[in-house]
Amino acid sequence: MSKLEEEEKKALANAETEQFEADRLVKEKEHRENIAARNAEAKAPDDEEDAEGEEDEDEDEMPPKQKFIQICISTGLLIAAYLINRALPDLKMWQRLLIYLVPYLAGGFDVLREAGEGIAHGEVFNESFLMSLATVGALLIGFVPGGKAMFPEAVFVMLFFQVGELFEGIAEGNSRKAISQLLDIRPDTANLVCDGEVKVVSPQEVQVGDILLVKPGEKVPMDGVVIEGSSSLDTVALTGESLPRDVTVGDQILSGCVNQNGMLRMRVEKEFGASTASKILDLVEHAGSRKSRSEKFISRFAAVYTPIVVLAAVVLAFLPPVLSGDFVGHFATWLLRGLTFLIVSCPCALVVSVPLAFFGGIGAASRIGVLIKGSGYMDALSRTDTVVFDKTGTLTKGVFEVTSIHPEAIEAKELLHLAAHVERYSTHPIAVSLRAAFGKEDDGCSVDDVEEIAGRGIRAKVNGRTVCVGNQKMMEDIGADWKICDEPGTIIHVAIDGKYAGHIHINDVEKPDARQAIAALKAAGIHKTVMLTGDREKVAQRVAEDLGVDEYHAELLPADKVSKVEELLHNEPEKHALVFVGDGINDAPVLARADVGIAMGALGSDAAIEAADVVLMDDKPSKIEKAIRISRHTIRIAKQNIVLALVIKVAILLLAAAGLAPMWLAVFGDTGVLILCVLNSARTLYTGRKGKQ
């Protein structure tokens, strides 16, 4: 083949590649538009309702700073009211009530409003209603015959409840701030190159195929490929890794990364809504909709528990005086017990602290580049007993590399040189690995008469010599006396002018932290690790032994992997969970079947983000053990909150029913426990920081 013919062949191949890429981008755009249209049509009503609900919720919530000012004002007014009453001991009961109503309303007007709104919407039994009922009762108990005025106590109860609300707001704000800082990755503008000029536009206006300019210090606005320039990218917001990633022409770059130094020109490959940053933000924002078993239990418990305790408080206030025969004489005493019972019965410590713990845990996992799609999956992760791995792309790099060269009659360097030239025009992964190992694309050697033989290999003339590169069948076809190689992996035989010249061993190499990941899982108490692969038995055995995997199954088709996971699930105890770890693209059926599907190497992979329950934003299997530890820590804190709240509340409820619990103890049983549980939940925010669990 002449040089002119060679150049024409290259140009034709490039043109075909560009046309294929253009067609692919057009089809991808049309596909995404169809999906977006269907999703918008199906979810529009729900989204509108969610938006209205979120707007109403935001209007109801008072910022912590404003809440603190409200508490300070009410406290000052309470002190003033107390001093006025001490200075004027002859005031009538209704006059004292009016004086204490000022600090009461100043500190609790929003609680009274929420209680009223709940009644209007048919949601009577919430914490605002219980607190309003109890404190209004305390204000009025002095007007009951035999009753003692409790004006300061009523205001104090409302104030302490607001202190609990303040702590809750601060803790939740810190949780949201931690996640919003972590995921502050979606840029507001993009530098669009149009007709030689650079225009600053909104990323939503950018189309697939447009050219963008990314300056040093700016966030990459869209997913795409570098067409000019080189730089280092800060990917910490996506992967949790502080080590920058070097990129140059031809490299894929993702939205949300920060360009650290060089100027980059990129071609956009995904629309803004389909970009990595947008998908991550959407994933985290909707993580709260997938509730854990603990949260579901608390929701059901609160729905049944609250009406029961209200009824119990009413019975406690009215039934004993009726049975005593002297209703008027005993009513004030039992009414006070009923009010105390009502105060301590508020379930807000449970309703608030448990979801807050999961919210913090999801944020802690996100900080290290692990995106958990909901607290339900975090619950399942904490119960992990078996971890099943796909081999290629999960425990190994999924990229072939030359691991050894075995020459017969020539030097190793010359053997690799000839094989790389024969494979010069092939796009097969084996050919790519040979060229990468040789390093030089063109060193002046002539390559002619390239012929690919299906199922055998490639034959070509290199500098006039006929070189055959392929498997043992090709060697047998040409009569070359090939040698057996016992090394696991792919063996490429080479013959020169019909005589055997040696073989090259190519293998899929292990990931650097794969062995560490298996060891860490075992140290974390994981009972069994399993590897599934479609590769040959020898290759699977070597990888399993090198990494320390407990069990492996080789030569499996995709359907066989599903069957094997089904079998493992059948043998798994019900209280335990099975995790499958795959690359998220060709393992979607198995990811969906496992209790928890984890997508490895999901940086920029749409299929991984869609198919998996947990997404690792880099390709490090060592993150799995960290995700399990964070999940266990979160579940432990949630359970601590449940036990702490229930034990203290039940104890004080019994004391209140017996008349042994003063109102300040009832306040501690409600708001005090809430503060303790919220502070305990806040610990999940710091899980995994500086190596601490």
Query: For residue 175, what are its two tokens?
Result: 């949780």
CA–CA dist 534, 410 (Å, integer): 35
Put residue 247 in one of left, alpha, beta given phi > 0 → left and psi -120 to 50 → alpha. beta
Closest CA to 234 of 180, 271, 185, 181: 185
The torsion angles phi and psi of 478, rounded to 5 degrees, stand at -95, 0
Alpha-carbon distances, residue 81 vs 88, 99, 159, 206 (angstroms) = 10, 6, 14, 63
Angle value at C-alpha 183, between 245 and 601, nearest 5 degrees: 45
Q: What is the DSSP string of 3-37?
A: HHHHHHHHHHHHHHHHHHHHHHHHHHHHHHHHHHH
**Helix H or strand E encompassing 148:** none
Under DSSP, is residue 425 helix (H, G, I), strand (E, B) or coil?
coil
Q: Going by C-beta distance under 8 Å and a sequence separation of 6 or more, which residues neighbour residue 277?
A: 185, 186, 187, 254, 255, 256
> ∠ CA 361-363-366 to the nearest 5 degrees?
110
Q: What SS3 class is residue 186? A: coil
Contact 216, 260 (CB under 8 A): yes
Which of 433, 434, 612, 623 lies closest to 514 in space, CA to CA?
623
Could you tell me the maximum CA-CA distance found in the chain, to the nearest angstrom? 121
C-alpha span between 134 and 344 (Å, rounded): 10
In whole angstroms, what is the distance from residue 396 CA to residue 198 CA? 42
Give me 329's structure tokens. 């004489």
Residues 6+ apart with CB under 8 A from 443: 417
8 Å CB contact between 415 and 431: no
Question: What is the rounded CA–CA span in Å between residue 90 and residue 92?
Answer: 6
The radius of gyration computed from the CA coordinates of the chain, to the nearest angstrom, equals 34
Strands 596-599 and 614-616: parallel
Token pair 């912590």 in the structure block, residue: 64
Q: Which residues pair with 245 in a beta bridge?
A: 233
The span from the CA of 410 to the CA of 501, in Å, is: 7
Q: Dig out the tokens for 676 from the structure.
A: 């303790």
Q: Which amino acid is at 270?
A: K
Task: Give the 3-state secondary structure of residue 598.
Answer: strand
Residue 256 DSSP label = T
Of 223, 234, 390, 587, catalytic = 390
> Which pair of tokens denotes residue 157?
């109860």
What are the backbone angles phi and psi of residue 234, rounded to the nearest 5°? -85, 110
Is 619 tagged catalytic? no
* Kind and range of the H or E run holding 388: strand 384-390
List the Cα angle 606/608/614 in 5-degree steps: 130
Report, as residue numbers or ranges, the catalytic residues: 390
